[in-house]
């Protein structure tokens, strides 16, 4: 009898032991599978964050490039350097935000250093520089005027952030609108000068009249507008050969002060009346 009981107990052990081993293996496999899923999820999340950060940095880099081009353009189009300096401030803020996203990017730090040096240069209002509102084609005129409009958007964003008072915004907006007007006027007068230099008086007068019409249609309150209207009228009446340098410092196409001997073109300043 004891032998039979022992045999039964042994058989029970044989049957139970494999069952316990299978459960343990199953638990181990489940734990491994769960850990693998967690690891893969963490890797995917990290890759997604890296991808999002890279996309954000690329977008910010493109915006920085656009604004840097805008700084250069505005500094050549607008008399006051304060507007270009404000646009450059936005470049600096963007680069600092980029550095927070990627501390190891040496090229971002280099760009930030260049922008800060540029800010120092733009702070020097009295520095000699050459304004150039003269554009060679309608496409270039449109681009320059678009850049002036974009600068206005930047200033309005600065005002919305509290970095610019409403009074400052009004002053700078008037400067931008004046530059917007001058880009078209000066470029058109320059086309008239080029036509006059070729001896084409009819085309020259057409360009001068177009420039004068733009000024008369404008409602800008800058007193120089009236001077320009008068001096372009003098061009049409042959009382002058070119505009005063303080109104149009872009002198590269100015006709000669006197008419060459034998020319049928307009007279000198002394030829106050048409022939």
Q: What is the pLDDT of residues 7-49, one digit of tens each?
A: 554 555 445 445 457 777 777 767 777 787 777 776 766 767 6
Please indicate, yes or no, whether residues 89 and 145 belong to a single structural domain of this protein.
no
Please indicate, yes or no, whether residues 135 and 71 belong to a single structural domain of this protein.
no
Which one of 70, 94, 128 terminates a domain? 128
pLDDT score, position 72: 94
Q: Does residue 6 belong to any structural domain of this protein?
A: no
Which one of 128, 153, 168 terminates a domain? 128
How many independent structural domains does the chain possess? 2
Q: Does residue 78 belong to any structural domain of this protein?
A: yes
Q: Does residue 46 belong to any structural domain of this protein?
A: yes
Which one of 105, 128, 151 terminates a domain? 128
Q: Does residue 109 belong to any structural domain of this protein?
A: yes
pTM over 0.85, yes/no: no
- State the residue range of the domain holding 101: 17-128
Please indicate, yes or no, whether residues 32 and 66 belong to a single structural domain of this protein.
yes
Q: What is the pLDDT of residues 180-208, one digit of tens each?
A: 999 999 999 999 999 999 999 999 999 99
Please indicate, yes or no, whether residues 49 and 155 belong to a single structural domain of this protein.
no
Please indicate, yes or no, whether residues 71 and 161 belong to a single structural domain of this protein.
no
pLDDT score, position 173: 95
Please indicate, yes or no, whether residues 134 and 247 belong to a single structural domain of this protein.
yes
Please indicate, yes or no, whether residues 204 and 223 belong to a single structural domain of this protein.
yes
Question: Residues in the chain with pLDDT < 50?
Answer: 9, 13-14, 16-17, 19, 261-275
Backbone torsions φ then ψ of 213, nearest 5 degrees: -65, -40
Please indicate, yes or no, whether residues 45 and 159 belong to a single structural domain of this protein.
no
Please indicate, yes or no, whether residues 143 and 268 belong to a single structural domain of this protein.
yes
């Amino acid at each position: 009898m004891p032998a039979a009981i022992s045999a039964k107990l042994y058989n029970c052990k044989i049957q139970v032991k494999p069952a316990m081993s299978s459960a343990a293996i199953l638990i181990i496999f489940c734990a491994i599978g769960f850990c693998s899923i967690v690891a893969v999820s963490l890797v995917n999340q990290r890759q997604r964050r890296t991808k999002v950060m890279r996309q954000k940095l690329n977008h910010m880099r493109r915006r920085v490039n656009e604004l840097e081009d805008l700084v250069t353009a505005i500094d050549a189009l607008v008399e006051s350097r304060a507007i270009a300096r404000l646009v450059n401030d936005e470049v600096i803020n963007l680069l600092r935000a980029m550095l927070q996203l990627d501390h190891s990017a040496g090229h971002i730090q280099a760009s930030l250093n260049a922008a800060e040096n540029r800010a120092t240069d733009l702070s020097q209002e009295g520095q000699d520089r050459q304004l150039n509102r003269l554009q060679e084609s309608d496409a270039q005129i449109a681009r320059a005027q678009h850049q002036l409009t974009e600068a206005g958007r930047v200033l309005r964003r600065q005002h919305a952030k509290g970095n610019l008072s409403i009074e400052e915004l009004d002053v700078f907006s008037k400067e931008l609108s004046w530059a917007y007007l001058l880009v078209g006027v000066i470029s058109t007068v320059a086309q008239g000068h080029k036509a006059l230099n070729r001896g084409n008086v009819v085309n020259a007068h057409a360009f001068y009249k177009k420039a004068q019409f733009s000024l008369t249609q404008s409602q800008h309150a800058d007193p120089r507008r009236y001077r320009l209207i008068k001096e372009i009228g003098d061009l049409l009446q042959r009382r002058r050969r070119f505009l005063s340098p303080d109104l149009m410092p872009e002198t590269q196409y100015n006709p000669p002060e006197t008419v060459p001997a034998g020319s049928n073109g307009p007279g000198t300043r002394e030829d106050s009346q048409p022939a």
